[in-house]
Amino acid sequence: MPEELARRLGTTDAVVVGLSAMIGAGVFAAFAPAAGAAGAWLPLALALAAVVAYCNATSSARLAARHPESGGTYVYGRRRLTPLWGYLAGWGFTVGKTASCAAMALTFGAYVAPGAARPLAIGAVAALTLLNLFGVQRSAGVARAIVVFVLAVLLAVVVAGLTGDTEVTLGWSFGRPASEPFLYPPFTADGVDAWGVLQGAGLLFFAFAGYARIATLGEEVRDPARTIPRAVGIALGVTLVVYALVAATALHVLGPVLLARSPAPLADLVREAGAGWLAPVVGAGAAVAALGALLALLLGVSRTMLAMARERDLPAALALVDPVRQVPRRAELAVGGAVIVLLLVADLRGAIGFSSFGVLVYYAIANACALTLGRDEGAPPKPVPIAGLGLCLVLAATLPLSSVLAGLAVFAIGLLLWALRHHRPRR
């Protein structure tokens, strides 16, 4: 029987971990590419992403309450489907999110000092890995401070945008000239660009995906059957409100065309609203948000690695739990080390499209697992996991081709490693 982690997180702690992952650096940049895909129908894309997130969150929460162990969908796939499906979920999550950790660390470094982004990124990973070694409660305490600051910055952005004096000419990004004005919301359009909305939803969905951190920390949550569903619901609800306010403000101030073209949309938003003095504060908010997302990612990946090591899908040595701090010390050091190596050898800011594909596959498997729950096991209404499964597959298919191909390649490598491991001749 493997040594278990200590249950030290209450509802507030779990909500904070989820919020730090969802309201991360993505909120400062995600709306630009999403607006480029969905145009003025960005709110519809956000609504669709929220529906997918709700289905996935509900399925994940019910499964986490039933199987309160570290590892998230890796564990559910093994318990509810087959070991291979669990492995694929864990493989996609671990590989993709390790690259995401490196990209998030680079984001932090780029906001603080672009000329020293890589050394700063390495220092951030090392510092947060060290923090995690001191226990999950300390990590949750730091995440709480980060979430409060980032929410305060976003509130200031929304207030500045809605009260500022703007004279922006809005325009369609799908077929209608940018110089031709329209009244927002644009319900007089010739029609909805369905493909653009789906791509926009796919890009925005990943901003919501942080609730998985709550599930992957299931072994460290007190009263998981009650705490996890509640924490997931609260974190998702708060995030949806925040994102809806930011999206509406960005469209109001910049319009879909300028929003899609902006490399730093929230900084441009406050400048356009006549509050240019807020731009440095927005930059600081983005840097701190990147740290929060990085902290949550490191926690989530190390717990999935711990679960995979317990089942010998990764080296068994990674399953060691520190007897004093009761944290997966070796798994955390392995994740931190892997991220630092990636930072030393590669520039991942534009090379982690497979991570997006992997997350959708991860949640598709989670919804498939939820379909196997019985009423006595707290099963969600059947339409919820069915819709979640179908929408995850649709959004994965509508991602840019390069992301789909990269994702398929990563899973093919994972399958090859699985086959080699499980078909070795016995001595």
Of 250, 270, 246, residue with least CA distance to 258: 250
Q: Render the burial of 50-78: b for 16+ CB within 10 Å, e for the rest.
A: bebbbbbbbbbbbbbbbbbbbbbbbbbbb
Residue 130 in this model has a pLDDT that exceeds 70: yes
CB 23 within 8 A of CB 151: yes
Q: How far apart are CA 287 and CA 149, in angstroms?
A: 11
- Domains of the chain plus CATH, in order, are 11-422 (1.20.1740.10)
| Residue 226 token pair | 């009650």
- Give how far Cα 153 sits from Cα of 44, 276, 318, Å: 25, 14, 38
Q: How confident is the model at residue 138 (pLDDT cuts 50, 70, 90)?
A: low
Q: How confident is the model at residue 177 (pLDDT cuts 50, 70, 90)?
A: very low
Mean pLDDT of the chain: 80
Q: How far apart are CA 42 and CA 50, in angstroms?
A: 12
CB 79 within 8 A of CB 321: no
pLDDT of residue 182: 34
CA dihedral defined by 47, 52, 55, 61, rounded to 10 degrees? -100
pLDDT of residue 25: 67
CB 391 within 8 A of CB 57: no
| Mean pLDDT for the stretch of residues 159-172 | 64
pLDDT, one tens digit per residue, over 180-228 is 333 334 333 445 678 888 888 887 876 776 666 666 666 667 777 777 7
Q: How far apart are CA 392 and CA 49, in angstroms?
A: 10
Q: How confident is the model at residue 421 (pLDDT cuts 50, 70, 90)?
A: confident
pLDDT of residue 181: 37
Residue 19 in this model has a pLDDT that exceeds 90: no
Least confident of 18-22, 55-59, 73-77, 256-260: 18-22
The amino acid at 289: A
| Mean pLDDT for the stretch of residues 125-137 | 79
- 3-class state of residue 9 by DSSP: strand
Q: How far apart are CA 220 and CA 230, in angstroms?
A: 15
Higher confidence at residue 249 or residue 133?
249
pLDDT of residue 139: 63
pLDDT of residue 136: 57
Q: How far apart are CA 236 and CA 14, in angstroms?
A: 12
pLDDT, one tens digit per residue, over 271-317 is 988 888 998 999 898 888 888 888 878 888 888 888 888 888 888 88
Q: How far apart are CA 81 and CA 59, in angstroms?
A: 14
Q: How far apart are CA 38 and CA 150, in angstroms?
A: 26
Half-sphere exposure of 8 (CA within 13 A, CB side): 14
Least confident of 131-140, 146-155, 362-371: 131-140
| Residue 351 token pair | 């090379």
Share of the chain residues as helix, strand and coil, in percent rounded to the nearest 5: 75, 0, 25
* Three-state secondary structure readout of 202-236: HHHHHHHHHHHHHHHCHHHECCHHHHHHHHHHHHH
The H or E element containing residue 4 is none
Q: How confident is the model at residue 382 (pLDDT cuts 50, 70, 90)?
A: very high
Of 87, 427, 35, 91, residue with least CA distance to 249: 35
Residue 369 in this model has a pLDDT that exceeds 90: yes
Would the pTM count as exceeding 0.85? no
Q: How far apart are CA 215 and CA 14, in angstroms?
A: 9
pLDDT of residue 350: 54
The amino acid at 379: A
Residue 426 in this model has a pLDDT that exceeds 70: no
Higher confidence at residue 270 or residue 221?
270
Q: Give the residue ranges of DSSP H helices in 67-135.
A: 73-80, 83-112, 117-133
Residue percentage of the chain with pLDDT more than 90: 19
Instruction: Specify the residue for token string 């986490």.
Output: 64
- Give how far Cα 78 sits from Cα of 72, 81, 83, 154, 413, Å: 10, 6, 4, 40, 20
Greatest mean pLDDT range, 18-27, 29-38, 200-209: 29-38
CA dihedral defined by 202, 206, 207, 212, rounded to 10 degrees? 140
- 3-class state of residue 313 by DSSP: coil
Higher confidence at residue 192 or residue 2?
192
Of 292, 294, 231, 205, residue with least CA distance to 68: 231
Q: How confident is the model at residue 179 (pLDDT cuts 50, 70, 90)?
A: very low
Residue 361 in this model has a pLDDT that exceeds 80: yes
Alpha carbon 174 to its chain's center: 28
